[in-house]
Structure 1
Amino acid sequence: MELAVQKREKFGKATKKLREQGLIPAELYGKGVQNLHLSIPLKEFRKVLKQAGESTMINVVVSSPAGEEKRPAIIYDVITDPVSDEIIGADLYQVRLDEKVKIKIPLEFTGESQAVKNKNGILVKVMQELEVEALPADIPRSLVVDISKLEDIGNSVYVKDLKIGNGVKVSVGPESVVATVTAKMTEEQEAKLAAEVKPEEIKVETEEKKTERDAAKAAAEASSPASPAGRAGKPAAPAEAAKPAAGKPAPEKK
């Protein structure tokens, strides 16, 4: 699967113009790889994202005045507008075909549990994704969880029940529970549980006590030595780290 992109030379206000033209800004980076600033047709990006997701390897076709080059990568992060939820940017992570990558794969729940449908059970999805380690070409888009096998209360689906391809290693044991069906609580059980819960005691500070505390604090500060010049109340924030973007660590390579 290929994603056609172009090198981007303009930044700042030019980014807004990109979006007006139906394009989104993107970054391509990776271990030992120089960052590339790109622009991608939004329509094409949506199509590839729908088919590949954020785990399947794709070929990023980079167009520039020097020609075209293909780079293997995964869609590492999709940036959306917090209000409209529209896609406004993306991060692509370049991988090496001969190096294994640790990445989290989404779980796709299919089927219908008879324990839920006919026995008033509650389906509990213990996992929503599963971390795996594999070569980029072997990474699955998703892992299917068939819940139709959950016929009775207490039945579970385990990691060992999933169809995981060759060359793919999971980070948890085969007996780890993926999903299970539990019994719904009766009205008597719910009432008993509610009776056992005690409301948290909240201490209300009177204005008089607050005034006394503030006065004592002010007196203590006045009698303490001044802070050394140049020393802040807390250490300076660390320098901004290079890509990948904050909040999502880069796939771990082996």
Structure 2
Amino acid sequence: MKFVAFERAKQGTGASRRLRNAGKVPGIVYGGEGEPQLIELDHNALWQALKKEAFHSSILDMDLGGKSGKVLLRDLQVHPFRQQVLHIDFQRVSAKQKIHMKVPLRYTGEEESTAVKTDKALVNHILTELEVSCLPADLPEAIEVDLSKLEKGQTLTLNDITLPKGVEAVLHGHKAEDTVLVSVVAPAAAEPEADAADAAPAAGDAPAAEGDKK
């Protein structure tokens, strides 16, 4: 994806507030061989771009001052209740240096599986994204996970899938076989209906006649 940014000369709370009032978003780009640089973006264009999954998990082409550079979205500050981006951070990337990035897991084929189609089991997506390490050219927009072979009671771990070429999972000390992606459980059994005899008075327990009441 490509987007346009503009150089920003002023910084500080007051300058940022004036930018936001003018429909702009203050930001910064850092990393790589260059110095950190203050930037600003058009808010409406940025808001539309943020609705796309690729903007969050892909290498982006940033046009800044007529020059194009590769960057990653690294941080985003959004107003707690308004649809307004307050600040945005980008990191420059080098084609020869590996990057760490969280990539969405895209599950497919669930409805065709025996677990769902025949056994009416429930499929729980334990993880929705995975942190990976790879060169920028190998970064996938998403990792496809086929669930069409799922069976009731099965647990799908990271060890059960094949990652794209050049992509490694970042597990922070955990093991692939212990990293659960999906679990399949039987649907909760319906609560048995109360026995009619429990609800109705037992024989010999008929309500006392008015004359018997004290």
How many residues matched?
A: 183
How far apart, CA to CA, are the structure 1 residues paired with 2:67 and 2:25?
20
Contact 1:143 1:162 in 2 (8 A): no
TM-score (norm 2): 0.72
Contact 2:153 2:183 in 1 (8 A): yes
- Identity of aligned pairs, percent? 28
Unaligned runs of 5+ in 2: 192-214
Q: 1:179 aligns with which of 178, 182, 194?
A: 182
Mark the CA change 1:166 to 1:107 in structure 2 (over 3 Å): closer, same or farther: same
Q: 1:79 aligns with which of 77, 80, 90?
A: 77
Amino acid in the other structure paired with 1:55: S
Q: Which has the larger radius of gyration?
A: 2
Aligned residue in 2 for 1:204? none
How far apart, CA to CA, are the structure 2 residues paired with 1:26 and 1:54?
16
Mark the CA change 1:109 to 1:14 in structure 2 (over 3 Å): closer, same or farther: same
How far apart, CA to CA, are the structure 1 residues paired with 2:149 and 2:17?
50
Mark the CA change 1:17 to 1:57 in structure 2 (over 3 Å): closer, same or farther: same
Aligned residue in 1 for 2:140? 140
Deviating 4+ runs (over 6 angstroms): none
Contact 2:143 2:164 in 1 (8 A): no
Amino acid in the other structure paired with 2:5: V
How far apart, CA to CA, are the structure 2 residues paired with 1:46 and 1:108?
23
Aligned residue in 2 for 1:235? none
TM-score (norm 1): 0.62
How far apart, CA to CA, are the structure 1 residues paired with 2:161 and 2:47?
28
- 3-state SS of paired residue (1:153): coil
Deviations 1:21-68 (A, max 9, x none): 3221111111553111110112332344416232211121112xxxx3
Matched, 1:170 2:169: yes
Deviates more, 1:115-124 or 1:177-186: 115-124
Unaligned runs of 5+ in 1: 189-254
Over the aligned positions, Cα root-mean-square deviation in angstroms equals 2.6
- 3-state SS of paired residue (2:127): coil
